[in-house]
Amino acid sequence: MTEREEIQELRKEIQIHNHKYYILDQPEISDYEFDLKLKRLEELERLHPELYDEYSPTVRVGGSVTKNFENKNHPNRMYSLDNAYSYEELETWYRRCLNAIRDETGREQIEISCELKYDGASINLIYENGKLGSAITRGDGFQGDVVTANIKTVRTVPLELRGDFPASFEIRGEVILEKSEFERINNERSNLGLATYMNPRNTASGSLKLQDSGEVAKRKLTCLPYAVAGENLPFKTQIEVLESLAAFGFKIPDHYRSCKNLNEVQDFIAYWAERKNNLPFEIDGIVLKVNALEDQELLGATSKSPRWALAYKFESENAITRLVDVVYQVGRTGAITPVAQLEPVLLAGTIVKRASLHNKDQIDKLGLCFNDRVYVEKGGEIIPKIVAVVSSESERDERVSFIEHCPECETPLSRIEGEAQHYCPNTECCPPQIKGRIQHFISRNAMDIDGLGSETVSQLVDEGLINRIEDLYQLKAEELIVLDRMAQKSVENLLEGVSKSKNQPFVKVLFGIGIRHVGQTVAKTLAKEFGSIDQLSQATFDDLVAINEIGPRIAESVLSFFALEPNQITIERLKQEGLNFEVIQNDQVQKKQLFEGKSIVVSGVFSNFSRSELKQLIEELGGKNVSSISSKTDLLIAGDQMGPAKKKKAEALNIPMLSEIDLENKLKELSDQS
């Protein structure tokens, strides 16, 4: 056997043993024998660098060093899940899903897949032709950090898939650290006199961003996949997805179940609530998903979460500590948030020193006094909050009273009728508001200005170089180069990033200028409805609330924003700088507004379109997708198996219906016109 042949043989053999040991838990050789084979392969690969293979088992050992992790978009967004903390919330979600599917299909029953909610760090694995192309952390759901070299050291992640897999798709999973491995790492650190890690979840998350992949390999992370994403995938149900992932070579714990009704779902939750501590890894709840992927597509998603999935969280851990002080933070909109300063206490694996008190009403409701002993728990096991006062002593310290003046600029606070929040009205001169607005403007989801971060914004404001967002476009190199931590290259990158931001589309500019209550989704809706900042600024209250998704609170906020002279000045100055304040459309697109201004419901099953393709097409042709039929609905696009209730309602309201064939004919007419 030649050394080339030996390398190929060892690679195949080691991959087989890896799968049997880490995935099937059925080792056939000893660790010693396995190590000998791996070392022999490493030796041969060093002698023959021309035979390098990025999918060789030796990459599991690590060794590459990444100084800066590239940021990359997810091909398909990674949503977060809505949470439930009681069976009542669970039942509400279940009934809502069932009713929507009944309206669409007439079916009276849905299956729910139940899975353990692994407590780790989410990862997106992208496979091309069965080979691991890249691994991206969840980040903000739209984009994350590329950690491919580190993920390759995780032996439960196949470098090459087995069996009959899609040509190109994404696999979503959770990277975890099993309890035994966490204890081993901490014992080693303790013996070396190093600080121990707090919990497996944080350790797993931090491990993904270690610069040395060799160090990652030593931590023996595990990846447990739970979902797939991509176009035209062959799977029909979530259970089929999990079974297919196991066939592709992933480790899938046999702890999932398809439930035919709500009682079975509750039984599954109760079973694991009692046994969660017996698992080799940590979980913090149960993930529920409508099992049929066709039903998932039908239900769709909100701007943040899929409607077809829910995370049922187990009861939060709590601890008792002492309230030391209350400080007040000022947000970019002037909102005042009280924050409790606590005696440090261990809670759910982390040291907690602070907890949100939300607003004045919450402080009054708790009846807090300084130095009170208080119950603290993690809301959703993430954000600490005070839930009750333990103290019952007759002599208590001074009562906590909500402040009357801004802690930063001493301006008397105001409170908008109907809102719980207090605000500092000094929008033009209050430092945290000035910095917050600019930091929001430059953020990734707004103007996405490279070379400019939050700390630099604070520095520029403190130095008096900027005071409003439009001041960014007047910055000069000679002003910046004299500042601390500003080298020539940093200055060039900052100014280039500011200049490039002028090309951002209107919807990003609209989100970036920071109208209260106007998030990304609302900004998209407003940009589409009005087309330009001029049209939006002239809109009346009635114009705004007539738009689906725009309620009175958002309408009032938009009107208040444009009524203020400083905001009018900002917009005019940004226009002069060349920013986009209108939706740019070419002539061809303008001719194709088939559904201009129409609210459209899509229902049923289609032969030549997926529901997502159809909804995207509606938006491209000027229409707005709405989920339910009402008197405001302009059109119903009806496929096969449309729910009889929905059809009956549409007929009663005299809403026009368009079949798939009718739609294709209209699209052909448009194509012929162009």
On the question of pLDDT at 290 being above 80, the answer is: yes
- Stretch among 312-326, 330-344, 497-511, 571-585 having the lowest mean pLDDT: 312-326
The answer to whether the CB of 54 falls within 8 A of the CB of 98 is: no
CA distances to 306, 339, 503 from 388, in Å: 33, 15, 51
pLDDT digits (tens, 9 = 90+) for 348-373: 667 889 998 988 998 998 889 999 99
Distance, in Å, from the CA atom of 364 to the CA atom of 400, rounded to the nearest integer, reads 8
- CATH topology for 83-313 is D-amino Acid Aminotransferase; Chain A, domain 1 (3.30.470)
pLDDT digits (tens, 9 = 90+) for 231-241: 889 999 999 99
Terminal C-alpha separation, the chain: 65
**Both tokens assigned to 389:** 């006062």
Distance, in Å, from the CA atom of 340 to the CA atom of 508, rounded to the nearest integer, reads 35
Same fold across 83-313 and 318-415: no
On the question of pLDDT at 25 being above 70, the answer is: no
Spell out the domain ranges in the chain. Answer: 3-61, 83-313, 318-415, 431-503, 506-576, 594-673
Distance, in Å, from the CA atom of 331 to the CA atom of 252, rounded to the nearest integer, reads 44
At a CB cut-off of 8 Å and minimum separation 6, what does 21 contact?
27, 34, 155
CATH of domain 506-576: 1.10.150.20
- Annotate 253-310 with DSSP letters as a single string: -S--EEESSHHHHHHHHHHHHHHGGGSSS-EEEEEEEESBHHHHHHH-B-SSSBTTEE
Helix/strand/coil percent split, the chain, to 5: 40, 20, 40
On the question of pLDDT at 63 being above 60, the answer is: no
The answer to whether the CB of 226 falls within 8 A of the CB of 118 is: yes
The answer to whether the CB of 549 falls within 8 A of the CB of 599 is: no
**Both tokens assigned to 29:** 């050789």
Q: Choose which CATH entry (1.10.150.20, 3.40.50.300, 3.90.950.10, 1.10.10.10) describes domain 431-503.
A: 1.10.150.20
**Both tokens assigned to 287:** 């993930």
- Beta-carbon count within 10 A of 126 CB: 22
CATH of domain 318-415: 2.40.50.140
The answer to whether the CB of 110 falls within 8 A of the CB of 98 is: yes
On the question of pLDDT at 380 being above 60, the answer is: no
Helix (H, G, I), strand (E, B) or coil at 154: coil
pLDDT at residue 349, rounded to an integer = 67
At a CB cut-off of 8 Å and minimum separation 6, what does 465 contact?
471, 475, 479, 480
At a CB cut-off of 8 Å and minimum separation 6, what does 379 contact?
316, 385
Average pLDDT over residues 468-489: 91
DSSP structural state of residue 142: S
pLDDT at residue 272, rounded to an integer = 93
What strands, in cross-sheet order, belong to the sheet with 121-128?
Answer: 131-137, 121-128, 168-176, 222-229
Nearest to 563 by CA among 594, 530, 540, 591: 540
pLDDT at residue 585, rounded to an integer = 63
On the question of pLDDT at 307 being above 90, the answer is: yes
Q: How confident is the model at residue 665 (pLDDT cuts 50, 70, 90)?
A: confident
pLDDT at residue 471, rounded to an integer = 95
DSSP structural state of residue 405: B
pLDDT at residue 587, rounded to an integer = 38
Percent of the chain with pLDDT over 70: 94
pLDDT digits (tens, 9 = 90+) for 395-449: 677 899 999 999 999 999 998 777 788 999 998 899 999 999 999 999 988 998 9
- Stretch among 9-13, 116-120, 182-186, 592-596 having the lowest mean pLDDT: 592-596
Average pLDDT over residues 21-36: 72
- CATH topology for 594-673 is Rossmann fold (3.40.50)
DSSP-H helix ranges across 531-581: 533-537, 541-545, 552-563, 565-576
What's the CATH architecture for 3-61? Answer: Orthogonal Bundle (1.10)
Beta-strand ranges (E) seen in 318-473 are 318-330, 335-347, 350-356, 373-379, 383-389, 414-415, 422-423
Q: How high does pLDDT run on average in the chain?
A: 87
The answer to whether the CB of 332 falls within 8 A of the CB of 440 is: yes
pLDDT digits (tens, 9 = 90+) for 536-594: 999 999 999 888 778 888 999 999 999 999 999 999 999 999 999 998 764 344 445 67
Question: Is 313 one of the catalytic residues?
Answer: no
pLDDT digits (tens, 9 = 90+) for 386-396: 888 886 555 67
On the question of pLDDT at 56 being above 90, the answer is: no
Nearest to 280 by CA among 401, 386, 193, 178: 178
pLDDT digits (tens, 9 = 90+) for 251-264: 999 999 999 999 99
Distance, in Å, from the CA atom of 98 to the CA atom of 94, rounded to the nearest integer, reads 6
Q: Which residue has the higher pLDDT, 20 or 525?
A: 525
DSSP-H helix ranges across 219-261: 238-248
Instruction: Check 72, 117, 179, 365 and give the catalytic one.
Output: 117
